[in-house]
Chain A
Amino acid sequence: MMAWKWRWLLVALLLAAAIAAPLGQKSYIVYVLTSWLVFAIAAMGLNLTLGYAGQISLAQASFMAIGAYITALLTLAGWHWLIATPLALLACFVVGLLLGYPALRVKGHFLAFVTLAFNTLVFLVLRNEEWLTGGSYGLSGMPRPDLGLFTTMRPLPFYYFTLAITVVAALAMWGIVRSPWGRAFRALRENPIRAESLGLDTRRITLLAFAIGSAYGGLAGALVTSLVQFIEPASFGVGHSLRILLMVVVGGAGSFFGPFLGSGVVILLPEVLRFTEGYYLIIYAVLVIVMLVYAPEGLIGIGARLKAKFFSRSQVRADMSQGATLK
């Protein structure tokens, strides 16, 4: 019980830090912090698909693209962001569900290639269908959400708007991973054959893992539309999917807070290292490589390892203290 109290206290402190962080900062810093929140949402979605359910996907950026373009087209047509975004999420959920079907037949590296091909397909459609997407020139001038008394036109209000959306998305994810669905996702990752033998419909759970993860990607895309107010296909290429994958792995795949840490490292660390001028990308790359070598389970895993080292306990082996023979 105490552990939970400490955990909630930590969450409250982190939330307070997130509220205080942009105060008094220049627009660029507020933009970077908002990007961190947006990518944390995208990484949360991939963390469900990959980290909890064990289904590799290299297509998260394509779902950001689908979410971003649907929101952009609808808001440019005069729809409110709050109406356009649920439709974009629904579209991503359905497309994610369809992308999940190959996962019922192929696993591991083969599934990675299928999702990679899907990301490339989405990129090509966005680039070639100029009549709808603006092609390589993209779409621009999307309005930010106007909530009546609270307008998000300025960077700071938009940051708080994004923070509120992130909190809601995180609470929804918390509800999912704590529920029996979350247990089913983890069972799918750890031992799908055993899970199936216990009555779990692994096909349905696999499809849901893709669909929900994709909807989170769509939400991140909808926020990118308003954050940057300009979208183009190159912003959603395979490289960006790999970047989101890096966020999940660096933070700790299958851990609730991993995506926040991982996106923090991938988005914020290069900015922190900018004082090193031309060397910052080299230092950043070396830090990530060292971390992945020494903590392959991610930043969250370092904490778990320290806990195991300093608070280790011997396991009770009742079988060794009993004596019995077959009758």
Chain B
Amino acid sequence: MTAPVLSVRNIEKRFGGIRAVRGVSFDVHKGEILGLIGPNGSGKSTLFNCILGQLVPNAGEVAVSGRDVSGMRPSDLNKLGVGRTFQQLSVFPRMSVLDNVILAGQEHRGTMTSRLFGAPDAGLTQDAERMIAFFRLTHLRDELAGSLSYGQQKLVDAAMAFMAGPSIVLLDEPAGGVNLTMLAHLKDRLVAYNAEHGTTFVVIEHNMEFVMSLCTRIIVLAEGAVIAEGTPDEIRSNQTVIDAYLGG
């Protein structure tokens, strides 16, 4: 049996006396779309940041395709095939959409020397255009990313996360602040990408309709610990989850 694409073991993160994440463990397998939900303050984003090297956990291990990546820098993790999007808008506002997407791929091409003396686009214009077209942003190719609407910037952010052909992408609240039209478009593209490339997704999301319709499996966090795990239908009817959300 092949190793899980992402394996999280006993992750613990404390801020002073507060235990933000308490011994969380889970595996994610190839092609899965895993949802990570929970009330505000349940430790979802902290867990994400521990997995992605933005925070150093107090205990626990993270492995990508069987390789221990605990404490690895985000740039090195990305080179191992881990992509991510951010909760806040995270495009490069004074660069064009095309430049944003090329940037997302250029560090995976050639060497430092070839990136100085080689082609200005690192030979990535066609790939970037394909990715931009996949997210139906071709008409915005040369616009400054900062001039786009909130939803369009979320799509650019997703296009950047996928540009280097990652094996797993962690999406932090992709639906946050996005209008319904754009949300449907985003979901459609994520499903299509998953189907075409078999890429694994882990999605943190508050929008229940979005997460229930997108994910194949859901993990629920409350007060830093896993309280439930199952299919969307199982989670919908789980009394512990309902209590956690309603404070019962």
Interface size class of B (residues with CB under 8 A): 35 or more
Known A180-B115, A318-B136; judge A324-B185 contact (CB<8 A): yes
Would you call B147 an interface residue if the criterion is a C-beta within 8 Å of the partner chain's C-beta atoms? yes
* Inter-chain contacts of B188 with A (CB < 8 A): 324
Query: Which residue of chain A lies nearest to B120 when distances are taken between CB atoms in the complex?
Result: A178
Q: Pick the residue among B52, B78, B95 that contacts A199 (CB under 8 A).
A: B78
Q: Pick the residue among A178, A179, A325 that contacts B184 (CB under 8 A).
A: A325
Would you call B99 an interface residue if the criterion is a C-beta within 8 Å of the partner chain's C-beta atoms? yes
Contact check, A326 vs B139: say whether CB atoms are below 8 A apart.
Answer: no
Q: In the complex, what distance in Å separates the CA atom of A176 from the CA atom of B183?
A: 39
Known A198-B104, A201-B75, A326-B183; judge A318-B139 contact (CB<8 A): yes
Q: In the complex, what distance in Å separates the CA atom of A204 from the CA atom of B113?
A: 13
Chain A 165-207 per-residue mask, 1 if CB under 8 angstroms from chain B, else 0: 0000000000110111111101100110111111111101000
Would you call B237 an interface residue if the criterion is a C-beta within 8 Å of the partner chain's C-beta atoms? no
Which chain A residues (253-269) contact chain B, with CB distance < 8 Å? 254
Known A198-B107, A316-B139; judge A179-B95 contact (CB<8 A): no
Known A183-B102, A320-B181, A326-B184; judge A197-B115 contact (CB<8 A): no
Which chain A residues (200-224) contact chain B, with CB distance < 8 Å? 200-202, 204
Chain A 293-327 per-residue mask, 1 if CB under 8 angstroms from chain B, else 0: 00000000000000000000001111110111111
Chain B 132-165 per-residue mask, 1 if CB under 8 angstroms from chain A, else 0: 0000100110010001110110000000100010
Within the complex, the shortest CB–CB distance from A209 to chain B, in Å, comes to: 13
Would you call B197 an interface residue if the criterion is a C-beta within 8 Å of the partner chain's C-beta atoms? no
* Inter-chain contacts of B84 with A (CB < 8 A): 197
Q: In the complex, what distance in Å separates the CA atom of A186 from the CA atom of B106?
A: 14
Query: Which residue of chain A lies nearest to B151 when distances are taken between CB atoms in the complex?
Result: A319
Contact check, A199 vs B79: say whether CB atoms are below 8 A apart.
Answer: yes
Q: Pick the residue among A179, A202, A322, A327 that contacts B115 (CB under 8 A).
A: A179
Q: Pick the residue among A183, A315, A326 that contacts B95 (CB under 8 A).
A: A183
Which chain A residues (235-271) contact chain B, with CB distance < 8 Å? 254
Secondary structure at chain B's binding surface: helix, strand, loop or mixed?
A: helix
Q: In the complex, what distance in Å separates the CA atom of A191 from the CA atom of B91?
A: 8
Q: Pick the residue among B94, B104, B116, B149 that contacts A179 (CB under 8 A).
A: B116
* Inter-chain contacts of A324 with B (CB < 8 A): 180-181, 184-185, 188
Query: Which residue of chain A lies nearest to B164 when distances are taken between CB atoms in the complex?
Result: A199
Which chain B residues (189-211) contact chain A, with CB distance < 8 Å? 209-210
Q: Pick the residue among A319, A323, A327 that contacts B149 (CB under 8 A).
A: A319
Contact check, B118 vs A179: say whether CB atoms are below 8 A apart.
Answer: yes
Would you call B187 an interface residue if the criterion is a C-beta within 8 Å of the partner chain's C-beta atoms? yes
Q: In the complex, what distance in Å separates the CA atom of A181 from the CA atom of B117?
A: 9
Chain B 104-122 per-residue mask, 1 if CB under 8 angstroms from chain A, else 0: 1011100010011110111
Contact check, A191 vs B92: say whether CB atoms are below 8 A apart.
Answer: yes
Within the complex, the shortest CB–CB distance from A292 to chain B, in Å, comes to: 20
Within the complex, the shortest CB–CB distance from A181 to chain B, in Å, comes to: 5
Q: In the complex, what distance in Å separates the CA atom of A200 from the CA atom of B121?
A: 15
Contact check, B149 vs A191: say whether CB atoms are below 8 A apart.
Answer: no
* Inter-chain contacts of B151 with A (CB < 8 A): 319
Would you call B182 an interface residue if the criterion is a C-beta within 8 Å of the partner chain's C-beta atoms? yes
Known A316-B139, A317-B149; judge A180-B75 contact (CB<8 A): no
Q: In the complex, what distance in Å separates the CA atom of A178 from the CA atom of B185?
A: 34
Contact check, B95 vs A187: say whether CB atoms are below 8 A apart.
Answer: yes
* Inter-chain contacts of B118 with A (CB < 8 A): 179-180
* Inter-chain contacts of B143 with A (CB < 8 A): 315
Q: In the complex, what distance in Å separates the CA atom of A184 from the CA atom of B92?
A: 11
* Inter-chain contacts of A198 with B (CB < 8 A): 75, 78, 103-104, 107, 160, 164
Which of A179, A199, A315 has its CB near the most chain B CB atoms (within 10 A)? A199
Q: In the complex, what distance in Å separates the CA atom of A176 from the CA atom of B107?
A: 16
Query: Which residue of chain A lies nearest to B139 when distances are taken between CB atoms in the complex?
Result: A316
Contact check, A199 vs B90: say whether CB atoms are below 8 A apart.
Answer: no
Contact check, B92 vs A319: say whether CB atoms are below 8 A apart.
Answer: no
Closest 9 CB pairs of A and B: A199-B107, A324-B184, A199-B78, A180-B115, A194-B90, A190-B92, A180-B106, A196-B74, A178-B120
Q: List residues of B whose CB falls within 8 A of some A CB.
A: 52, 54, 73-75, 78-79, 84, 86, 90-95, 99, 102-104, 106-108, 112, 115-118, 120-122, 136, 139-140, 143, 147-149, 151-152, 160, 164, 179-185, 187-188, 209-210, 213
Since A180-B120, A324-B184 are in contact, a sample of 15 more A-B pairs with Cβ atoms closer than 8 Å, ordered by chain A residue number, is A175-B116, A175-B117, A179-B115, A180-B122, A186-B94, A193-B54, A193-B74, A195-B92, A195-B103, A196-B75, A315-B143, A319-B151, A326-B209, A326-B210, A326-B213
